[in-house]
Amino acid sequence: MPALDYRELRRRFPLRRVLALLAYRPTARHGDHWRGPCPFCTAIDAAPYPRYFAVHLARNVFQCFRCQARGNAIDLWRLHLNLPLHAAALELCRRAQESPPWLKP
């Protein structure tokens, strides 16, 4: 299996772009800080938790203060699809219709 250049992948897919692919809509926006329902724990139980999920766009990180999901944009996509990192990264490139950034041998 060829190795992906994850640094380049994170550059190509900032958190804002991945959230757009997921059609995520925050309930509150304060500059680069967004808050809203968690796409993971609210999918498990239907209880509304409108502001547990926090996104910091400038730092490209997210965290849910309820289910403890956290990470960068690629982690968000991986958790959304429930796939291993490599498979999720390839699926992200496919969904965005971009070729994967392979590491040069």
What architecture is the 6-95 domain classified under in CATH?
Alpha-Beta Complex (3.90)
Taking only the tens of pLDDT, the chain with its 105 residues reads: 689 999 999 999 999 999 999 999 999 999 999 999 888 886 566 566 677 899 999 999 999 998 899 999 999 999 999 999 999 999 999 999 999 999 987
Q: Identify the sign of the CA torsion 45, 46, 52, 53.
A: positive
So what's the pLDDT on residue 50?
72
Closest Cα partner for 79 from 54, 52, 43?
Answer: 43
- Threshold 0.95, pTM exceeds: no
For residues 69 and 100, give the distance between their C-alpha atoms in angstroms, rounded to a whole number: 25
Would you list the domain boundaries of the chain?
A: 6-95
Integer-rounded Cα Rg, in Å, for the chain is: 14
For residues 59 and 35, give the distance between their C-alpha atoms in angstroms, rounded to a whole number: 15
So what's the pLDDT on residue 1?
66
For residues 44 and 7, give the distance between their C-alpha atoms in angstroms, rounded to a whole number: 31
